[in-house]
Structure formats: structure tokens, C-alpha cells
Structure 1
Amino acid sequence: MTAVAHCAKTGKQGPSPRLRADALRNRERIIAAAREMVMEFGAEVPLDEIARRAGVGNATLYRHFPDRLELIHHVTLSVMSRTADRAESALAEEPDAFQALRRFVHDAVEERIGALCPMLSDSIDRDRPDLLAARERLEAAIEAVMGAARDSGQLRADIAVGDLMVALTQLTRPLPGSGCMDFDRFVHRHLQLFLDGLQAPARSELPGSAATFEDLRRRG
């Protein structure tokens, strides 16, 4: 029995065809442009503007992503996957645990992780299996970086991963439409100040309790 006949008999879809190199490049350009524009203008940025920035036609965008929610879904996957890559690389390659945390925080800015909140607040399906898997991998990678810094005695004990993610979002996401064209030149400077405040021993007692990923999900 051929693979096509088997799929027809079982009702299962066959594997998705592999994209040609030029089609894959177009897809990646669209995702990168969407990530940047959501960061700058919010999740409702017009799709034709995304296509224009990506250097592709509208038809090419819709061929890869039939609607806005599908595009936002794949941009979210991309941000999570690339940010997890950064965390895992920092932990594996940096001999000093707090330096690995520093490297990850600065790298996460380059991946536009601040765009995750507006994308996840859009009406995407957060329970899609690929999104759940990407989120679990990202959470585990960031927990590992912070855990290593904490175990080394360099990260203050009253900080959890939710605190880090909230701070990253606040420090890296200008208000959409605010015209902060030079905003990026301040980000790494302010992140360095933030990171200095994370180091042990703590210079003050923080109000409230440390925020976890679970806390962030409950508030989402």
C-alpha cells in the first residue's frame, strides 16, 4: 500500500512537504518582520505592512500564513525557540554562572522577547501542542540559567523566573506608536543596571514574593 493510500484509509495526514530553500527564506523573513513590527506597533499591525518590510508580496505572506492568528502563532514559536536556544547556549558556554545569566538577558533582547506579551494576549490558542512544547522548553532553559546563578551564590534568593520575565518585557517593549525610534540604544544600558540589582548579596529587601511562570500564566 502506498503512503497516499495509507493516509486515505486511515484518515491521517501525511508529513508536510519540505519547503524549497527560497520559500523557507521567505517564511523566515516574514516571521522576522512580524516580530519586529509587533514589537514596534502592537499585534494589530497590518499584514500588508509586514509583507512590505519582509520584502515579499501579500500573496506570498498568505501562502505561508492564511490569517493573522496563524502568523502570530508562528512568530510566538520562533521567539520562544530562539530565546531558549540563547539560554541553553549561554549556560553551556559561559564558565561563570552569573555571566551566563547576563549573556542570556542581553541576548533575549535581541530576540524581541518583549513582543511575547502582546502576541500571547491576542486570541491565539495557547493550548496548541507545539506552543505548549515551546513554552516548556523555554521555561526549563531559563530556570536552568537562573538556577545555576543561584546555586553559585551570585543571584539573590528572593528572585524567581517570573520577576526576570516581567522586567525583560518592561525594559524591552516601548509603547506601540510612541515614536521611540532610539529606544533600543537605552535597553542594554538599563538591563545592566537591572542585572546589577539581581546580584547577591542583596542590598535591600524586596516587597511581596518572587514571581514564577505559574504566577504569570494565572494573570494572563
Structure 2
Amino acid sequence: MAAESLRADARSNRDQIVAAALILFRDKGIDVSMKEVADRAGVGVGTLYRRFPDRGALISAAAEAYLTGLAERVATASREEDDAWSALRRFLRECASTGVGAFASSVEPAMHSRIHADPALTRVRETVTDAIAGLVGQAHADGTLRPDVGTADIARLMTLQIYSRPDEDPSNAVERVVDLLLDGIGTAWPERRAEDR
């Protein structure tokens, strides 16, 4: 029982470290100190280095968590929404509101090269890409997504970063910009615009 408790503690420490790294890499870039990551995770630096012997190992773990999180988001949206367009809308809103773009821009090109060098990371990335491609294909078939908008376009839109003024609620800024963006890629936009005249 003690061994199981130790394993659970080790998993918990690892998860806390990766979660802290995801936030700090997003906010400060990958050059943030390992001590700052450990402090944010609530563990000692020694514990961090036992789990991740160097910065590269931590970047790889953060990349895997980032991609796995995207895969879970797109899968959940696909499962819970009524159609592909609704799933794409939900997925893009979640990407914007959780700062996917800020994370991606902070860790590039280091994460990009790691993803392409590590077969496990490549597989997770392909899972995300395939799921988005499936939604795009279905939305095209349903006639709800503009035919000239492809999977690569959705991948770019996932990394949209939205500025909000100091005097405004960031969630309101995200909602407004994402609404405008979705109106631009959905096929219902010209009809809605005509109705508004």
C-alpha cells in the first residue's frame, strides 16, 4: 500500500510540474527558470529534476500534455455537439479562451522540432489533425463551412491570440472576436448579413 501511495504521489508531482510548465511556458516562454516551474508546482527543485532531468524533457512532457489536451477538446466537442459545425465552433472558442495561441507562439520553434523528432508526439499531433480534418470534411458535406476553408486554416485559427484592453473583460473580447471569425468562415454569414439589412 505504501508503494502505491508513493507512485500516486510521484504521478501527482509530475502532473503538477507539467501543469505549471504549461502555464509558465505560455506566459514567459521556455527559458523560464526550472526553479520558477518548481515553485509554481509546489515542489522542490530536486523533485522536478528527478521527474525531468533537463529542460528538454520538460518541454517534451509539456508538448505531449498540450497536444493531448487539444485531442481531448476536439474529441469532446465532436461527441457532445449536434453537428460538425457546432463542434468546430466550440473547439475554436475553447482554443481562443484557453490561450492555445499564446502557448504555441511561446514554445516555437523548440516544441515544433521536438514534435517532429518524437514518434509519440507525432502520433498525438496526427490524432488532433485527423479529428479536425474529419470535422472539416463533415462540415463541408453539411454545407455549413465555406468550401475554401480547409484543415490547415482551422489549425491556424486555433492559435489566434486576442488582445483585450485593460478596462474590458477578456472573455468578452474573446467572444466578440471569435463570433466575427466564425461568421467569416461559416456559410450562413451572407444570409445573416442580408437579414440584418
TM normalised by structure 1 equals 0.72
Select the residue among 116, 124, 128 that pairs with 1:126.
Answer: 116
Q: Is residue 2:137 matched to residue 1:137?
A: no
1:154 aligned residue (144, 155, 163): 144
Q: By percentage of residues, which structure has more helix?
A: 2
Q: Residue in 2 aligned with 1:69?
A: 56
Match of 2:45 in 1: 58
Q: Is the 8 A contact 1:143 1:161 kept in 2?
A: yes
Give me the identity figure in percent. 36
* Residues 140 and 117 (structure 1), Cα distance of their counterparts in 2 relative to 1, 3 Å cut: farther
Cross-structure match for 2:3: none
C-alpha displacement of 1:120: 4.2
Q: Distance in 2 between matches of 1:70 and 1:118?
A: 17
Tell me, yes or no, if structure 1 residue 101 matches structure 2 residue 88.
yes
- Deviations, residues 12-48 of structure 1 (Å, cap 9, x unaligned): xxxxxxx711111111111111111111111211111
What is the TM-score normalised by the length of structure 2? 0.80
Separation (CA, whole Å) in 1 of partners of 2:23 and 2:36? 11
Give the distance between the partners of 1:105 and 1:31, measured in 2 at CA.
Answer: 23
Q: Distance in 2 between matches of 1:46 and 1:105?
A: 31
- The CA distance in 2 between the partners of 1:145 and 1:170, in whole Å, is 19
Distance 2:170 2:19 in 1: 17
Aligned-pair Cα RMSD in Å = 2.8
Structure 2 gaps of 5+ residues are: 1-5, 191-197
Amino acid at match of 1:143: A
Q: Is the 8 A contact 2:183 2:189 kept in 1?
A: no
CA offset digits 1:118-174 (Å, max 9, x no partner): 3240163622111111111111111112222222111011111222222232325x7
> Mind listing any 5+ residue stretches in structure 1 that lack a counterpart?
1-18, 175-179, 204-220
Q: CA offset at residue 76 of structure 1?
A: 0.6
Equivalent residues, number: 182
After alignment, is 128-137 or 116-125 more displaced?
A: 116-125
Residues 1:92 and 2:76 are matched in the alignment: no
Task: For 1:126 and 1:58, locate their aligned partners in 2 and report how far apart those are by CA, in whole Å.
Answer: 29
| Alpha-carbon distance in 2 for matches of 1:68, 1:110 | 27
Instruction: Give the direction of change, closer, same or farther, for the CA distance of 1:125–1:91 in structure 2 (3 Å limit).
Output: closer
Following superposition, the deviation at residue 101 of structure 1 comes to 0.9
1:116, CA displacement in angstroms? 2.9
